[in-house]
Chain A
Amino acid sequence: MRRLELFLVLGLLALAAVAVSLGESQFSAAQYHQAFADPASPPGEVLWTIRLPRVLMAALIGAGLGLAGATMQGLLRNPLAEPGVLGVSATAGLGASLAIAGGLAALPGAVEASALVGALAAGVVVIGLAARFREPEVLILFGVALSAFAGALTALVFNLSPSPVATAEVLAWLMGSVENRDLTDLARALGPMIVGAGLCMYAAKGLRMLTLGEEAAQMSGLPMARLRVAAVAGSALLAGAAVAAAGVIGFVGLAAPHLVRAAVRDDPGRILRPSALAGALLLVAADLAARMIPTEQELKLGVVTALFGAPVFALLAWRAARSWRA
């Protein structure tokens, strides 16, 4: 257990070092030396003010999405759940689209704030539904409806937008990226992420108890209503902050818990921290791939994760469906 986390931390550090070292501009040994000796030198600038914040951002977003996914899987007792399922990603995307189309993109932090508001709105709706309905399937179905509705409204924003520039901007943003992020962006994302992570960790014991089913958990003596709200609010906050900071990046919340599930023997509480670490690893790797794959236009991070993630989702669904039939 501890060994797994240590292993993931070491892997993350090693990968981050590689991700900071590699990029479009290739440096000689002397230039690397210069970057370390003098951070203000041109190679130093590239490493420490361009690549490092980007790598840190990818790690933070990945960790948030991994933790949010693991929390939602535990809450909904379903290995196919992830932030997209509750409609959180879609409403956050809608919030950002409205801000961009409304001409607020020039205002620093406005798009981010709008996305976070969208995510939290979905969170409030989901908390209300979770208090009313105990069955996890209900939440998934409402999530599908919420996603579809937010998607329709986003399409409406495109449809009615008079400016093709704004439309292109929204599209680019919806594809997800951690390009050109600085430490201010990082600091802005960190607050809601820490609160969200705290709420998810607090809910861990409730997620374990839910293994037994809703009614047994309710009778277990744990304050399940409170833990359930903490899990929903925490994962909404994490996913919302992630979308606010980097656009819509799918499937990390699905794949990260899947990677570590066997190592924690399926435990929905103990899986949380390793899922965050695995999410960070995945997204740093995906961003490195987005940067290093030679294409005319730099690949968008959300496109890379979707290309790899969607088949993983299909594979998991295939396996789940086979076990249902057995």
Chain B
Amino acid sequence: MIEIDGVSYGYGTTPVLRDVSLSLPKGGVTALIGPNGAGKSTLLSLMGRLLPLQSGRVRFDGLDVARTPSETLALKLAVLRQETVLGTRLTVEDLVAFGRYPHCRGRPGEADRQAVAAAIEQFELGSLAGRFLDELSGGQRQRAFVAMTFAQATDYLLLDEPLNNLDITFARSLMRRLRSLADEHGRTIVVVLHDINYAAAWADRIVALKDGALVVEGEPEAVFRPDVLAAIYGVPIEVTRHQGRLAALYHWE
């Protein structure tokens, strides 16, 4: 499980996160939602040790993120940020293969090659495997990066807005894959989402942040209430049901 204890963070004097405590059970998909500047990405970066903790503690299955060696953590959790610009020119296959680095330290064996092949197949990248990343569309590149984190074969996956740049087809198929990673491979997935309807449709839990503080957490049913959503986003949001599925309506005044 993921335990977050009293995490605060600030850039200079501006606080971004204020005393966030949260515990997420192992397994399932958790969606992090909230308005721009709520601190979602910062929280995810702190969890993935991309930023050093200023106060508080984050533990994955008891492993303290601040104390555990980075290479040990790389076998426990994979993290993907939204802006991913590479310094080098890589093919899709090369990139996915880097996901195996924590396991093979640059000397891939048979098991690593199989894991890479499986990741490429899982994310339908077979036809793109030999292409260079800078020749791909934003969405295809995004899939390649998610495939890399999948190849890392960690219990926990932290993804920062993976639906950015994705059209409806790929956004949906990526969420379906994340769902199956959780259901069939037993991975625990924490994903920052902007579109709350995707959160309601695919996540087991929703955690909402606003102004750096935890507003509400719980099952989609508990979070998807007009008063709760209005409190998070500061605008009236209508909640409805269509064929038993929750949907929020917010795209007109």
Are A and B physically bound partners? no
A: residues with CB less than 8 A from B are none
